[in-house]
Amino acid sequence: MNAEAEIDDLLRATATGDRAAFRLLYDRTSPKLFGIALKICRDRPTAEDVLQEVFTDVWRKARNFDPRRGEAGAWLAVIARNRSVDALRRQGRGIIGATTGSDADLTTVPAPSLLGDGRVDYLTLIDCLNRLDERQRSLILRAYYRGDTREELAGAFDTPVNTIKTWLRRGLTALKTCLDE
């Protein structure tokens, strides 16, 4: 059984209240999810709190996972990303974080070589992001990896919020069009 199928099975078993499966799921996926939390939160204690929240969510919401809509690994990663962004916002980091410039790696498209595998959907997303106007791409990536709000993006780009909204939505429209091709 491949790793993705195993995670899928473990998540479904977790949904039935199987604690042994939940433990195995933790063992298999927590390094990846902790990596996501650390990358976004950029603070170890916060990332540890986030990881606890993530697995509390997973235990409670495992039955919401629908394999027809996506892979278990992606479903888990989304929870980790959203919880990380929530934690950043709770801490009110936006004001400080938006003005520090040492996180270029969070606002640029990862090189395809960094992708652990060559899955077509991932490569397609990267390819579509690369086709966007640089400004649109940067906005989307900042919002995604750093949890920047429209207001924070407006500050970072020294641009009115309404313009940010327009750029963001143009970028997302182009991204959707590219992904649907």
Partner 1 sequence: MMGKERDLDAAERALGTLPRKGENARTRREREAWELRLAALLRPIESVAPPPGMFARISERLAHTETCQTLGKTRRSARRWKGIAVVASLAMVGLSLALLAPRSAPEHEATRYVAIVTADEGGAPGMIVQFDTGTGIATIVPVIPDAPNGNVYQMWHVPAGSSKPVSIGLMPDKPGHMDVKIGLGDLFGISIEPPGGSPTGQPTDAGWHGEMMRIE
Residues in contact with partner 1 by the rule CB under 8 A = 23, 26, 30-32, 34-36, 38-39, 48, 51-52, 55-56, 59, 69-70, 74-75, 77-78, 80-82, 85-86, 90, 110, 114-116, 119, 121-122, 125-126, 140-141, 143-145, 147-150, 153, 165, 168-169, 172-173, 176, 179
CA 118 to CA 108: how far, in whole Å? 19
* Smallest separation (angstroms) from partner 1 to the CB of 134: 17
* Smallest separation (angstroms) from partner 1 to the CB of 113: 9
Structure tokens at 153: 């993006």
* Smallest separation (angstroms) from partner 1 to the CB of 158: 17
Catalogue the long-range contacts made by 152-158 (C-beta closer than 8 Å, 24 or more residues apart): 152/94, 152/95, 152/97, 152/98, 153/98, 155/98, 155/99, 156/98, 156/99
Nearer to partner 1, 97 or 147 (CB): 147
If DSSP codes are grouped into helix, strand and coil, which group holds residue 178? helix
Q: Which residue has the tokens 């077509």?
A: 120
